[in-house]
Amino acid sequence: MPPGPPRHWPPRRGATLVLLAAAAALVAACSGEEEADGGAPQGATAEARASANDAGVDHDTDRFAERPPEAGGLGGSGADAPDWPWERAAAGEDVPAEVPLEEIVEGGPPPDGIPPIDDPVLESVEEAADWLEPEDPVMVVEHAGEVRGYPLAILTFHEIVNDELGGEPVVVTYCPLCNSGLVFDAEVDGQVLDFGTSGRLWRSNLVMYDRDSRSLWSQFSGEAIVGDRLGEELDRLPMQMVGFAELAERWPDAAVLSRDTGHERPYGRNPYSGYEDGDPFLFDGETDGPLAQMDRVVAAGGDEDPLAVPLERLAEDRVVRTTLAGDPVAVLWAPGAASALDDADLADGRDVGQTGVFDARADGRELTLRPGQEDGRFVDEETGSTWTVTGEAIDGELAGTQLERRAHDDTFWFVQHAFRPETRLVDGS
pTM: 0.86
Q: Which of 271, 268, 249, 245 is nearest to 258 (CA)?
A: 268
Residues 152 and 139: beta-carbon distance below 8 Å: yes
Per CATH, the number for 271-425 is 2.102.10.10
Mean pLDDT of the region 54-66:
40
Residues 410-421: tens digit of each pLDDT? 999 999 999 999
**Cα dihedral: 408, 414, 420, 426 (round 10):** 60
User: Model confidence at 49, in pLDDT bands (50, 70, 90)?
Assistant: low
Q: pLDDT digit string (tens) for 239-294?
A: 999 999 999 999 999 999 999 999 999 999 999 999 999 888 988 877 777 899 99
Residues ≥6 apart with Cβ < 8 Å to 362: 393, 398, 401, 403
Per-residue confidence (pLDDT) for residue 54, from 0 to 100: 52
Structure confidence by residue, pLDDT tens digits, 287-307 = 777 899 999 999 999 999 999
DSSP string, 49-88: HHT---TT--TTTSTTTTS-GGGTS-SSTTPPPPPPHHHH
Sheet holding 223-226, edge to edge: 105-106, 195-202, 205-210, 216-218, 223-226
Q: Tell me how many helices (H) and strands (E) the chain has.
A: 8, 29
User: What's the pLDDT at 287?
Assistant: 74
pLDDT of residue 63: 40
Q: How far apart are CA 396 and CA 146, in angstroms?
A: 27
Q: Alpha helix (H) ranges present in 8-146?
A: 22-31, 42-50, 85-90, 125-128
Averaged pLDDT score across all residues of the chain: 86
Average pLDDT over residues 218-231: 97
For residues 254 and 18, the answer to whether their CB atoms sit within 8 Å is no
Whether 156 shows a pLDDT value over 50: the answer reads yes
CA 165 vs CA 16, 155, 207: distances in Å: 43, 17, 24
Q: Is the pLDDT of residue 96 over 60?
A: yes
Across the chain, which distance is largest between two alpha carbons, in Å? 68
Give the pLDDT confidence score for residue 108 in this predicted structure: 87
φ/ψ of 115, rounded to 5, equals -80, 125
Residue 56 vs residue 131, higher pLDDT: 131
List C-alpha distances in Å: 335 to 98, 241, 390: 40, 12, 12
Instruction: Read off the pLDDT of each residue in 365-385 and give the average, rounded to a whole number.
Output: 96
Domain range summary for the chain, segments of one domain joined by + = 69-256, 271-425
pLDDT greater than 50 at residue 75: no
Backbone angles phi, psi at 126, to 5 degrees: -60, -40
